[in-house]
Structure 1
């Protein structure tokens, strides 16, 4: 996931954005003014910056200009404001801002803007190497596909196809799933649901948005459900490493 810097002088907004982005699996650093943002930018590298326009020391547009002039605008920046004019938004975009979010920021707009910005910032995953078979290969070297071993010579495939196949060893969240069917129905159901959500959290990389889509639950309902079941979101994220 991404490393994101949130710059805003309002504590409530910093905490809210940090909670949402952390739940999506991102690493978040906070700055309450331009001075702290400068220090963070010098000390670390970020995939995205969420930058408030109106701040007490230096406004966000001036800080954006400063980074652009210094050649430090190597990451997408999303500007945020509850009082900015259209001219301000246009100016920020001209300087190099990726997008503009008007406060109060809705969850849907925030996540969509972050997703779009990170698609520009993060490199695509490398494609798997293609298998190339020479058409000029001799009959003795003709390759045969088996479901477990890829391409192997026929002489080897003849033995592989008749060899006993060991049962796959489960790894990840599945190997810890066991249910005591002697328990009362409610307790057994809660145990299953907890294992179910923990499994999907790991499968979806800790992204609450993707887990909500996968399980068919509205995001707020999903939060309440996970807290009710005692699902440790921090543990689910640690299982990814």
Structure 2
């Protein structure tokens, strides 16, 4: 995952962005003003910067100009503001910012902008270092759907019902169905669902396999699983605890 620098003078915004990006598996450093951001940039070049425009000591556009003038604008920068004008956004883009996010920032727009920024940073690295292009390309496609690596590391969910879908990697190599039993592949292996069990028990077993599957697929990201399942994060945490899902093990496996 990436090293991301978040620069914003509002504590609440910094904490929120840290929680979301940390949950996505990124290493996040926080700065509340331009001075701290400047020091963080020199200390360890981040892969991506989220930069607020309006700050008390120096605004984000001025800091962006400084980085560009000194040859330090080597990483994608996403500008953020709740009060910026179109002219300000255009100026930031002209200087070198890759995107502009208007506050309040929605989760979907944030993650999309971060993904695009990191992808652009990878392409820039490949362009500047052709010798490493094959390795970078391999890393960029490793987790894409359909790649062998992605298929090998993310357990697939297969509910087998009579002659329904089979899956490689199942207990007998072709799916599992014996009598009134269905086999579901989860992060902890195969879950056997007794279809003769009371509805609540069968539902709990399926839900546990469902959440383990998606947590593994999303590399332990509670944010993405909450979005996928349509549950609030707090509700999702309670549901996983109720079902006995071992989050610590899933995160270790995803690491």
Same-fold call, TM cutoff 0.5: yes
Query: Could you say what the CA RMSD is over the residues aligned between the two structures, in angstroms?
Result: 3.3
CA gap 1:237/1:73 in 2 versus in 1, 3 angstroms: farther
- Greater relative contact order, per chain length (Cα 8 Å cut-off, separation 6+): 1
Alignment of 1:85-104 (within 5 A): 85-104=85-104
> Is contact 1:190–1:229 with CA below 8 Å preserved after alignment?
no
> Is contact 1:4–1:48 with CA below 8 Å preserved after alignment?
yes
CA gap 1:26/1:176 in 2 versus in 1, 3 angstroms: farther
Alignment of 1:1-16 (within 5 A): 1-16=1-16
TM-superposition CA deviations, 1:21-64 (whole Å, max 9, x none): 22222222111111211221122232111000111221111111
Structure 1 residue 180: Cα displacement = 9.8
Match of 1:38 in 2: 38
Structure 1 residue 176: Cα displacement = 8.0
Match of 2:210 among 196, 210, 213: 196
Total equivalences in the alignment = 199
Q: How many Å separate the matches in 2 of 1:180 and 1:34?
A: 59
Q: How many Å separate the matches in 1 of 2:200 and 2:3?
A: 40
Match of 1:84 in 2: 84
Structure 1 residue 227: Cα displacement = 3.1
Match of 1:224 among 228, 235, 255: 235
Q: How many Å separate the matches in 2 of 1:119 and 1:17?
A: 19
Stretches of structure 2 that go unaligned for 5 or more consecutive residues are 124-135, 142-171, 174-185
Q: How many Å separate the matches in 2 of 1:88 and 1:204?
A: 36
Match of 2:115 in 1: 115
Q: How many Å separate the matches in 1 of 2:85 and 2:70?
A: 26
Alignment of 1:70-219 (within 5 A): 70-123=70-123, 124-126=136-138, 173-175=187-189, 186=200, 189-190=203-204, 192-208=206-222, 211=225, 217-218=229-230
Which runs of 4 or more aligned residues in structure 1 lie more than 6 Å from their structure 2 counterparts after TM superposition? 178-181
> Is contact 2:191–2:205 with CA below 8 Å preserved after alignment?
no
CA gap 1:9/1:174 in 2 versus in 1, 3 angstroms: same
Q: How many Å separate the matches in 2 of 1:6 and 1:68?
A: 18
> Is contact 1:50–1:79 with CA below 8 Å preserved after alignment?
yes
Match of 1:145 in 2: none
